[in-house]
Every structure is written in C-alpha cells, then in structure tokens.
C-alpha cells in the first residue's frame, strides 16, 4: 500500500530460476544499520510478499506502527 517512488528491472529468467513470481515482489530501500553487516544503510532489498510463514534464522520485513522493520527470526522451543 506504499507509494511507488521508483522501479527496478529484473530478468524474468532470473526470477524464475530463483522461484520468484513478479506479482509477489516489492523492493524497499534500507535505512539504518541495525542489520549490519548483512544489510547496510541504503541497500536495496527485494521482498517476497508470498512468504508469510516465519522460519528460524530467516529475515522478514515486518510492519509495526506504520514502519517497516527488517529482522531475522528466531523460533524458540515451546
């Protein structure tokens, strides 16, 4: 539901190779350094919006109070 500020091009062949579908993808730009060294300030992040089941050790974009956060999940036993 965010306003589109710019567009990036990706080869359909590459997306297919990665198992991605263009209708499920959005691109966001990182601000801040809380995910350093994995993600740096101003990095471009491709988000697969179809991946909604958190898995241990994977990164997800989460909306909290109108802000997007990128965090690595940790599934705790029990």
pLDDT tens column, 62-73: 889 988 899 999
In a domain, 54, yes or no: yes
| Residue 18, burial from CB neighbour count under 10 angstroms (0-12, 13-18, 19+) | exposed
Q: Examine residue 37 and say whether the peptide bond preceding it is cis (omega within 30 degrees of 0).
A: yes
State which residues form the domain around 48: 12-72
Residues 6+ positions from 55 with CB-CB distance below 8 Å: 73, 75
> What's the pLDDT tens digit per position in 7-55?
889 999 999 999 999 999 999 899 998 889 989 999 999 999 998 888 9
Residue 56 within any structural domain of the chain: yes
Look at residue 6 and tell me if it is in a domain: no
Q: pTM score > 0.85 for this model?
A: no
Does residue 1 lie in a domain region?
no
Give domain status of residue 7, yes or no: no
Number of domains in the chain: 1
Where does residue 74 fall: left (phi above 0), alpha (psi -120 to 50 degrees), or beta otherwise?
beta
Specify if 78 maps to a domain.
Answer: no
């Amino acid at each position: 539901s965010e306003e589109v500020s710019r567009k990036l091009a990706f080869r359909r062949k590459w997306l297919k190779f990665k198992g991605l579908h263009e209708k499920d993808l959005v691109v966001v730009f990182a601000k801040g350094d809380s995910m350093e060294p994995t993600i740096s300030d101003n990095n471009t992040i491709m988000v697969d919006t179809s991946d909604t089941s958190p898995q241990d050790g994977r990164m997800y974009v989460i909306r909290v109070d109108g802000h997007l956060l990128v965090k690595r999940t940790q599934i705790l036993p029990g």
